[in-house]
Amino acid sequence: MAGEQLNVLNALDVAKTQWYHFTAIVIAGMGFFTDAYDLFCISLVTKLLGRIYYYKEGSTSPGSLPSNVSAAVNGVAFCGTLAGQLFFGWLGDKMGRKRVYGMTLMLMVISAIASGLSFGKAPTAVMSTLCFFRFWLGFGIGGDYPLSATIMSEYANKKTRGAFIAAVFAMQGFGILAGGMVAIIVSGAFKVKYPAQPYENDPVGSTVPEADYVWRIILMFGAIPAAVTYYWRMKMPETARYTALVAKNAKQAASDMAKVLQVDLEAENDKIEQSVGNDFGLFSMEFVRRHGLHLLGTTSSWFLLDIAFYSLNLFQKDIFSAIGWIPQGQTLNAIEEVYRIARAQTLIALCTTVPGYWFTVALIDVIGRFAIQLMGFFFMTVFMFALAIPYHHWTLPDNRIGFVIMYSLTFFFSNFGPNSTTFVVPAEIFPARLRSTCHGISAASGKAGAIVGAFGFLYAKDGIGVRNTLLVVGGINFFGMIFTLLVPESKGKSLEEMSGEAEEENQSHQTTSV
């Protein structure tokens, strides 16, 4: 029986690309659309929060969030995400992918709405409740990482599996784009309805009372795509690989996939026998021997990538202000500043972030995961050093457009590079019963890097300056290139080949035959 159980899995591996593949991409991808929207939209409104809640009478510059508050507001969702990745990754292997999938989405919907309803009159009360709800928002988002990647990898055929998983992740680009566009529309509408003088002309009047609605509407909008997706997520069957290899019910797996693939699959009546040597746990020496270096490769490369990626993405507005691409705050009113920041970030997303993701989707099954990740880290290193070493040159008015182009290319090669591949590979190379857990560990390592980036960049740019911070980020990208050498290539191979389960099943079958 050990050999026969591969019938349903083989059917999935060789299946032609069908409508259900695209349905699965959209259903899983809308989670990432919401994830990216919720995680990045906070960077659009932090300056507005500073103006509303931390205005100092008589100051020549608008109010701004204190460093510790800014770090908390930007970073607390990442702390929740890290915890959610570990918890829901483990739970996805214990309870099944489908049963946990709906929990994460509902948590995201409730927390996104609650974030916009953050209450209290004192600044500390509003910021505390905002941080509390954004932690739980992050916790739900964290669960989406291992579950979406694992579900898509286990549904896909081996020929185009990389493109399908990358397409789910690429929905992040549209989420970032949507965050910017919603902020542009909301701030644009309020700007027309409630005109105000720049801060330098009227410090108090430059922030109209209605500006408090702007950031709340922007944050709450993230609940809509998640709520819309919930029904379809609940209709998805459990993946065949979980049902067959973990739950040991090949008959149910064949029945579920026969409906999905719309083909007749042989009903395998017996429960699958436990394979010899295929019961090692995450903390066993056997796992360390077989997959230890792989897990080190996926965790370290994702950790280093996210330090660079999130620090640069969250603090685009500071870099653009420093080089003069966004006017100084005192020359704008509060809502106008949100509009300008959103417009700049949307332009970056539209021109570089979104295309980078889809270059990966198009080429990942052609040139492979390893080559894309190595190339991405290499060009990120090159562009960071090219920005940092002659930094003064880029701050001159005539050279600012060149700075923005170079900075944008760094985003392009992070998305057509390690930001996509670090998500794809952990969903392909570990055994089915540990796949969601190992992806969660890898993703949590990445979020630990994001926390370092979110908190570290904030203090680094004040302490050592933007130039030296960019040099450090360049060095981090170089080490990411080194740790990529530990990551195996999974292009064109089945999940069972990559995890070693196919070999184990064959050995077990030979043993039972003898």
**Backbone angle region of 187, left / alpha / beta, with phi > 0 → left and psi within -120 to 50 → alpha:** alpha
pLDDT of the residue at 323:
64
What's the pLDDT tens digit per position in 417-426? 999 999 999 9
Angle between the N-to-C axes of helices 161-193 and 123-155, in degrees from 0 to 180, rounded to the nearest 10 = 150
Assign 270 a pLDDT band (cuts: 50, 70, 90): low
| pLDDT (mean) for 390-414 | 82
What's the pLDDT tens digit per position in 16-34? 878 888 888 988 888 888 8
Cβ atoms within 10 A of the Cβ of 120, count?
13
pLDDT of the residue at 313:
66
pLDDT of the residue at 503:
61
What's the pLDDT tens digit per position in 130-187? 999 999 999 999 999 999 999 999 888 888 999 999 999 999 888 988 999 999 999 9
What's the pLDDT tens digit per position in 238-268? 888 888 888 888 788 888 887 777 766 665 5
- Which residues are CB-neighbours of 292 under 8 A, at least 6 positions away? none
What's the pLDDT tens digit per position in 461-513? 777 877 888 888 899 999 999 999 999 999 988 888 888 776 655 554 444 44
Which domains are delineated in the chain?
7-513 (1.20.1250.20)
Cβ atoms within 10 A of the Cβ of 72, count?
20
- As to burial, measured by CB atoms within 10 angstroms (0-12 exposed, 13-18 middle, 19+ buried), residue 230 is middle
Cα-Cα end-to-end distance for the chain: 13
Instruction: Tell me how far CA of residue 249 lies from CA of 74, 147, 240, 252, 429, in angstroms.
Output: 44, 20, 9, 6, 22
pLDDT reading at 340 higher than 80:
yes
CA angle 176, 446, 298 (to 5 degrees): 120
What's the pLDDT tens digit per position in 430-460? 998 899 999 999 999 999 998 888 777 767 7
Whole-number Å distance between alpha carbons of 51 and 64? 6
What's the pLDDT tens digit per position in 133-147? 999 999 999 999 999
The model's pTM: 0.87
DSSP 11-76: HHHHPPP-HHHHHHHHHHHHHHHHHHHHHHHHHHHHHHHHHHH---TT-SS-----HHHHHHHHHH
Whole-number Å distance between alpha carbons of 358 and 179? 19
| pLDDT (mean) for 66-84 | 87
